[in-house]
Structure 1
Amino acid sequence: MGRTRHSGILLITLACFLFFIGHVFSLWRVAWIERFELFLYDQKLNLNIENSQGTQVAIANIDEKSIKALGQWPWRRDVLAQLLDTLFDHYQVKAVGFDMVFSEASDNTPLEVLNILKSSPIGEHQMFENAYQALHPQLNFDLTFAESLQDRNVVLGIVFHHAQRANVNALPLPVVELPDQSQSKLINAQAYIANLPIFHETARWSGFFDNPMLDDDGVFRRVPLVQRIDKYVYPSLALSLARIGLDSDNILVELNKNQPDLPVEAIQIGTRRIKTGEQGEIYVPYRGQQGSFRYFSIVDLLQQNYAQEDLKNKIILVGTDATGLLDLRTTPFANTYPGVEVHANIVSGILENRLWREPDYLLKYEVGLLVFFTLVMLLIAWFAEPRLQLLFTILILVAVLAISQLQWQQQVVMPTASLLGLTLSLFVLQTIFNMLTEVKQKALIVKRFGQYVPPAHVKLMVKSPERYQFESQNKELTVLFSDIRDFTSLSEKLTPEELSKLMNRYLTVMTQVIHKHRGTIDKYMGDAIMAFWGAPLDDKHHVQNAANAAYEMMEALSLLNMEFESKGWPKVNIGIGINTDNMFVGDMGSEFRMAYTVMGDAVNLASRLEGLTKQYGADILVGQNTQKALLMEQLEANNYPDANDKMPPVSKHQHHLLELDIVRVKGKHKPVAIFQLDPLPEDKLDEVQAISIEFARFCLAYRQQEWETARLLLNELAKQELLAPRLILLYQQRLVLFKRNPPGEDWDGVFNHTAK
């Protein structure tokens, strides 16, 4: 069973490992692992969030106050031109980025009215011509805005689309041009919305502000710093602003040219090298909750209500937190977070070199730990008990989280979900398998031993099935055989129905006695019973328990005979043989039928001893090993009275072990001493000791071939009726035989029995 359990756990562990390793190598993608990874990332981010306010980036906010003062968005472009003039000329900001795109011309209704008037008769008047020349430039709001962009660090927004659709306007020049037919892993846009040409012609910079890398749950975790459309590469709005903040004119995209798909390795801005993912993406370096950057109301900026020091040399993002303008995003710590502040976090993270990344050794790390934790969980499942298995599993989970946290503090994002998922899955699956195996073991134990082992012992076995094995093993046990004497003649006196009832009653009572004394029924052989002690439950008092069972079997037989007599059934007599030695025990049989049984010479000797009981006139015969074990237990009980409470009940009394003979049974060459076993009442100690001494004197004379002396001692024992008549008769017949036919001078006192 242990080998089967180990094989089952190995298969489960291997299958679980292959499931997760396949996910890691993208042979298949498991949705719940990916969701779990995102959840863990969010928790790490929330746990380590700084909640500090950035000092290099600020937000010019199209807030409710400004909308109320300046009207509904979008505003006239001359208002935006005025905003740029105020920011650069008055507040002396370093750069301004627009989190929006100006793809359509402004509302030119006033200019159109002016042109209509010029075409009318009124346009012929010189006064109107003078007014026209003065008003015309002021009413061309797009031109006004374009002129405000000239020679200033302004970044305009672009939107890329990733499905086929019509392009709007023309893109500005790219920052990088890839080789023709490039298969770079850069995100490839399919269409775009650009600003009006007049704006791209005057603005120095531009950048996209869309995010095609939203996770399935719609959360902003990663953003690309660059995208391509065909072979032309464009930076993000945040990257363009960071370039200005780092005083660099160039953006370089490093591709790994050793791989055919040209994954991105890093993006270089001046001396700042930004390590990115294969698609040029980074994790958004959030500083904290909304408000991590200072918001300035645009209407107050236009009115110059802020101190110059509040905005000087800052990078300004023009955007909105107004709910009605729908520029709200979902982040790991907020369902509504201004999109403009997401860009502010990216700019700030690049400027401060505060970016989290996945390392180059990511795959090796993840695979290595998966292999390591798989082996650890396998060994734990094989050799640790359930409570230790739970403890080790918790320690592994804590270790994974601790490693992840330490890496996070080094600005490294390590995969955690696959490791935690593997560990938890292995623990759950191994636990379920162990539970099912245990249930199966318990059911097998009940099935195998329910009829042969005491119910109380079956319950013990069911509680700890792993302690018991069915495989064959060699161990010291005590085996008992009992048989009904003259069963043939007894059966002839009963009808088949009566014989069946008698045997059922007899076997039931004897089995109850054996079970009571922790014995295991091996089998019923007609009228014979075979039982043993010491397996499957270990029992250090197996010899004593077998003796106790034999005593009580004889007592129960007396009560049974009274019951049988009342029914008119004949009296039943039995003999019992007990032997102790090493023997094989376990499941034995064929592929068609198995049985839990004992085998060996020691078992055969117990059977022979039972067969000799009738010849020697004894109820119970035991072998020499059994005799020695009983005397040792009795000696221990006498020398250590406190130990009596730990010993079987009858062992608190003396045993009467009388050596009857030294014999060589059929099938064995080595002679064995046989002993008659009887319980010794305390009130007959002297009498029994006298019998033992007298019979020992007889045996000594008998084995020394002093036949006459032996005859006289035997007659004296017969007169005193100290021994069983059958034993007296047996030795009387032997004395007559040996006196006529002496066994020889080399005789060792052993009598050879030729029958079983």
Structure 2
Amino acid sequence: MKTNKILIPILLMVVIPASLTAIISFFRFSTTLDQKLSDAFFHLLPSHHFFSKDIVIIDIDEQSIAKYADHPELGQWPWKRHIYPTLIGYTKLLTPPKITIIDIMFTERSDYDDALVTANESLGEISHAANFRNGGIVLPRKGIEEISEKFSVPITTNLPFPKYENASFPIGRVGETAPMIHVVNVIADSDGILRRFSPFVRWNGFYFPTLATQAFALGESYQTETIQSNLVLKKENETREVPIGKDGLVRAYFYTEEELRNIPRYSAAGMIESLEKLNSGEIEDPNSLLVPPTLFEDKIVLIGTSAASTHDDVVTPHGLFPGVIAQAVFASNLTEGHLLKELPESYGIGFTILILLIGVLILFINQWHLLKNLYPIFAVSLFVGLFYFLYRMDYVLSTYSFVLGFPISYLLGFAYLTYTEGKEKRKFNHILRNLVDPGVVSVALENMESLKQGGEWEITAFFSDVAGFSSISEELSATDLAKLLNEYLSAMTNVLKSNSGTLDKYIGDAIVGIFGAPIQYKEHPKLACKTALEMLAELESLRTKWNERRVYTPLARAMVFRIGLNCGYAKVGFMGTDSLASYTMMGDTVNLAARLEAAAKDYGVSILVSESIESACKDEFHFRFLDWIRVKGKETPVKIYSLESLQKDVTDVTRLAEREYELGFELYLSRNWEKAIEHFQNVSKILQREDVSSHLLIKRCQSLFQNPPPVDWNGVYTRTSK
């Protein structure tokens, strides 16, 4: 017995969560889950790195395109290539930048390539963009082998840097004269989010630096070596250790969204305008210009685009950003050493199993009950603290095993603890819960007097009734009738209670229910709608079982019901004696729900609801407008709807039919009976079945056509029966 006392908790709290973790890892869902969870933690935790002060961006933004919309060379994308030497030259008017890195491809021939060639030969530290890809057909280009040998980096390593089949280098003399070349490829994770980058990529046996590596190197010579799974970059005065992952990528530190939006970006339009004013003599002091050349002194300058027409956007952990922003983040990471190392999954799993084992001891061995309640807070705090501690050291701990495993472990353990410690109380509770809703039981046990006093607040009244039950009962023996009712009422009541509904009473085959009392909650209309739809599905399941077993009669096996729902204020209370009591509701809200259930027959629908229900639930559930009616005993007209389905399940055919019905109803209200009839007839054609509601309105139009209503007729139909 003592062995079982500890073995079962270990099974529930350790083995089951660990097995779930193993399954997720086996099917390779863990990587994406880990990345998304770590993104969430990064957003919540304080930032500890800041974007490099040495990196600025020359941005061909919306202003640059719009400002020169009528300019023959700047008014459309792509710009003529002789514009770029102008921008680069402007940055070198005073103290030049450390390096200029272009994040724009020049892989196709242009009439202005000579301008770029001249810039390459005269303006110094410029790095041009190359793009690699897989698949497709690439025609041989003259000089590509020479370019490859010139700009590749000699690396001897077994690190699995990304490998590509085809390469696109700067065209012709642009590539041949380029001082440097970098690769601009970025690789999104499986969920489409860009989190990682590679310092090098492979093509045709050569290794080429990416933009981030070029920003670190600054045009200087550097060496590489491999230490375990880390790449080490060495230049004259600096060494950078890069923690490469198993797929050749390194996790980037993405700073904060605010920092990304505040990266120094200078509009190309502002630079061109500044240069024009400087050349014309309008402004003599460069520091008075809109974009002073001093902004680029000793900086790493990236030239990129953010204008929508350039189509260079990527999805980052902070959302959609221009591609040059992501490249700037990677460059800042490598130049400043802000690189994250993703620890193996086994570290996170090991920590989780340790926490789960401690949980077993606290819940089942420890006798201090306060500690049992404090245990979840302790475990979560310990996990968050460890994650943040490692994060500050630029390590990323695998989180999915704890985030999934701990809640499951604690819930299973606490459930088992409750089960073993509360047998006697459950026996007593079980008797009461067979009589009334579990929610009512909980409140009744705490304060019976408050239930007896009752109150008045907003609830949703629920009425359901089996169609033609009298005919069904006449065909069945007393035994079969009782069995049928027991099956039906048990199934429907289970659905009602599972959605927080309170069973008011049974009236033969009818079910009366309350949502929102005795425990008040805002979502009672939606739960009532959910219950009604689930009851339809449950009845379909019952009919299938009855037909398979061939029990009862064909009429009974084809049973259907109608439901009426209305939301509003009603008097509710727990009425009766202490030994025999019923929680019930009274008022106009309740009466209208009962009338709606009866009216559902006229319109051939299963669930008829009031406008108050439709208004409260239309964001989640789909309703079809049917009519304006005046129920018996009430003068105020009611707008009625049929509850059809969840919003996500609505088809285009359904929407088309409903729109046709609404057009017909508008014509009906304007007394255009013949046109209204045409639209109502179209509804059945669209649905490819007879629509009872449309047929009802057609008959009404025909009657009104023969016997026109009075001048003050408003289209409201008065029902004369309950």
Aligned amino acid, residue 208 of structure 1: V
Per the alignment, do residues 265 and 45 of structure 1 end up closer, same or farther by CA in structure 2, a change over 3 Å counting? Answer: farther
Aligned amino acid, residue 155 of structure 1: S
State yes or no: 1:84 paired with 2:117. no
Q: Which residue in the other structure is 2:341 paired with?
A: 357
Q: Which residue in the other structure is 2:412 paired with?
A: 429
Q: Which residue in the other structure is 2:59 paired with?
A: 61
Q: Which residue in the other structure is 1:145 paired with?
A: 116
Confirm or deny: 8 A CA contact 1:5 1:437 kept in the other structure. no
Q: Which residue in the other structure is 1:8 paired with?
A: 8
Report the Cα distance in structure 1 between the residues aligned to 2:235 and 2:348, rounded to whole angstroms: 31
Q: Kindly state the Cα deviation for residue 342 of structure 1 after the two structures are TM-superposed.
A: 1.5
Aligned amino acid, residue 40 of structure 2: D
Confirm or deny: 8 A CA contact 1:175 1:233 kept in the other structure. yes
Q: Which residue in the other structure is 2:304 paired with?
A: 319
Q: Kindly state the Cα deviation for residue 63 of structure 1 after the two structures are TM-superposed.
A: 1.6
Q: Alignment partner of 2:131: what SS?
A: strand
Match 1:366 to one of 323, 348, 351: 348
Per the alignment, do residues 63 and 383 of structure 1 end up closer, same or farther by CA in structure 2, a change over 3 Å counting? Answer: same
Q: Which residue in the other structure is 1:250 paired with?
A: 222
Match 1:273 to one of 228, 232, 240: 240
Q: Alignment partner of 1:100: what SS?
A: strand
Q: Which residue in the other structure is 1:375 paired with?
A: 357
State yes or no: 1:103 paired with 2:70. no
Q: Kindly state the Cα deviation for residue 197 of structure 1 after the two structures are TM-superposed.
A: 3.0
Aligned amino acid, residue 30 of structure 1: F
Aligned amino acid, residue 57 of structure 2: I
State yes or no: 1:236 paired with 2:205. no
Q: Which residue in the other structure is 1:414 paired with?
A: 397
Aligned amino acid, residue 299 of structure 2: K
* TM-score (normalised: structure 2): 0.50
Equivalent residues in 2 for 1:111-260, closer than 5 Å: 141-150=112-121, 152-163=124-135, 165-166=137-138, 169=141, 170=144, 172-173=148-149, 175-177=152-154, 184-212=159-187, 214-244=188-218, 248-254=220-226, 256=228
Equivalent residues in 2 for 1:243-642, closer than 5 Å: 243-244=217-218, 248-254=220-226, 256=228, 263-270=229-236, 271-278=238-245, 279-288=247-256, 289=258, 290-302=260-272, 303-304=274-275, 305=289, 306-333=291-318, 335-358=319-342, 362=344, 365-384=347-366, 388-435=371-418
Confirm or deny: 8 A CA contact 1:165 1:190 kept in the other structure. no
Q: Alignment partner of 2:164: what SS?
A: coil
> After superposition, what is the alpha-carbon deviation per residue over 1:693-746, rounded to whole angstroms, capped at 9, x for unaligned?
xxxxxxxxxxxxxxxxxxxxxxxxxxxxxxxxxxxxxxxxxxxxxxxxxxxxxx
Q: Alignment partner of 1:77: what SS?
A: coil
Report the Cα distance in structure 2 between the residues aligned to 1:442 and 1:162, rounded to whole angstroms: 67
Q: Alignment partner of 1:99: what SS?
A: strand
Q: Kindly state the Cα deviation for residue 293 of structure 1 after the two structures are TM-superposed.
A: 1.8
Query: Which of 423-432 and 281-290 deviates more?
Result: 281-290
State yes or no: 1:93 paired with 2:97. yes
Q: Which residue in the other structure is 2:28 paired with?
A: 29
> After superposition, what is the alpha-carbon deviation per residue over 1:7-43, rounded to whole angstroms, capped at 9, x for unaligned?
322222342354266369x544335x74254233333
Q: Kindly state the Cα deviation for residue 314 of structure 1 after the two structures are TM-superposed.
A: 1.0
Q: Alignment partner of 1:293: what SS?
A: coil
> After superposition, what is the alpha-carbon deviation per residue over 1:208-252, rounded to whole angstroms, capped at 9, x for unaligned?
22212x1233222211121212432111112112210xx631241
> After superposition, what is the alpha-carbon deviation per residue over 1:387-432, rounded to whole angstroms, capped at 9, x for unaligned?
6434212211111101111222222222233233322221122234
Report the Cα distance in structure 1 between the residues aligned to 2:174 and 2:61, rounded to whole angstroms: 25
Equivalent residues in 2 for 1:729-748, closer than 5 Å: none
Q: Which residue in the other structure is 1:699 paired with?
A: none
Report the Cα distance in structure 2 between the residues aligned to 1:210 and 1:204, rounded to whole angstroms: 20
Q: Which residue in the other structure is 2:480 paired with?
A: none
Alignment gaps of 5+ in structure 2: 69-73, 276-288, 431-440, 446-722
Q: Kindly state the Cα deviation for residue 375 of structure 1 after the two structures are TM-superposed.
A: 1.7
Q: Alignment partner of 2:331: what SS?
A: helix
Q: Kindly state the Cα deviation for residue 85 of structure 1 after the two structures are TM-superposed.
A: 2.2
> After superposition, what is the alpha-carbon deviation per residue over 1:155-197, rounded to whole angstroms, capped at 9, x for unaligned?
1112222445537853633544566xx8642222232322213
Q: Alignment partner of 1:252: what SS?
A: strand
Q: Kindly state the Cα deviation for residue 255 of structure 1 after the two structures are TM-superposed.
A: 5.9
Confirm or deny: 8 A CA contact 2:133 2:166 kept in the other structure. yes
Confirm or deny: 8 A CA contact 2:34 2:398 kept in the other structure. no
Report the Cα distance in structure 2 between the residues aligned to 1:439 and 1:165, rounded to whole angstroms: 72
Per the alignment, do residues 142 and 93 of structure 1 end up closer, same or farther by CA in structure 2, a change over 3 Å counting? Answer: same
Q: Which residue in the other structure is 2:41 paired with?
A: 43
Confirm or deny: 8 A CA contact 2:152 2:209 kept in the other structure. yes
Confirm or deny: 8 A CA contact 1:158 1:195 kept in the other structure. yes
Report the Cα distance in structure 1 between the residues aligned to 2:331 and 2:41, rounded to whole angstroms: 23
> After superposition, what is the alpha-carbon deviation per residue over 1:472-498, rounded to whole angstroms, capped at 9, x for unaligned?
xxxxxxxxxxxxxxxxxxxxxxxxxxx
Alignment gaps of 5+ in structure 1: 109-140, 257-262, 448-458, 464-756
Per the alignment, do residues 231 and 436 of structure 1 end up closer, same or farther by CA in structure 2, a change over 3 Å counting? Answer: farther
Confirm or deny: 8 A CA contact 1:21 1:370 kept in the other structure. no
State the percentage of identical aligned residues.
19
Report the Cα distance in structure 1 between the residues aligned to 2:235 and 2:139, rounded to whole angstroms: 29
Report the Cα distance in structure 2 between the residues aligned to 1:197 and 1:46, rounded to whole angstroms: 49
> After superposition, what is the alpha-carbon deviation per residue over 1:420-466, rounded to whole angstroms, capped at 9, x for unaligned?
3322221122234445556778779999xxxxxxxxxxx9xxx9xxx
Q: Which residue in the other structure is 1:73 paired with?
A: 77
Cα RMSD (Å) of the superposition? Answer: 3.4
* TM-score (normalised: structure 1): 0.48
Aligned amino acid, residue 351 of structure 2: L
Of structures 1 and 2, the larger Rg is shown by 1
Q: Alignment partner of 2:396: what SS?
A: coil
Q: Alignment partner of 2:342: what SS?
A: coil
Aligned amino acid, residue 422 of structure 1: G
Report the Cα distance in structure 1 between the residues aligned to 2:49 and 2:310, rounded to whole angstroms: 26
Aligned amino acid, residue 380 of structure 1: I
Report the Cα distance in structure 2 between the residues aligned to 1:168 and 1:293, rounded to whole angstroms: 40
Aligned amino acid, residue 76 of structure 1: K
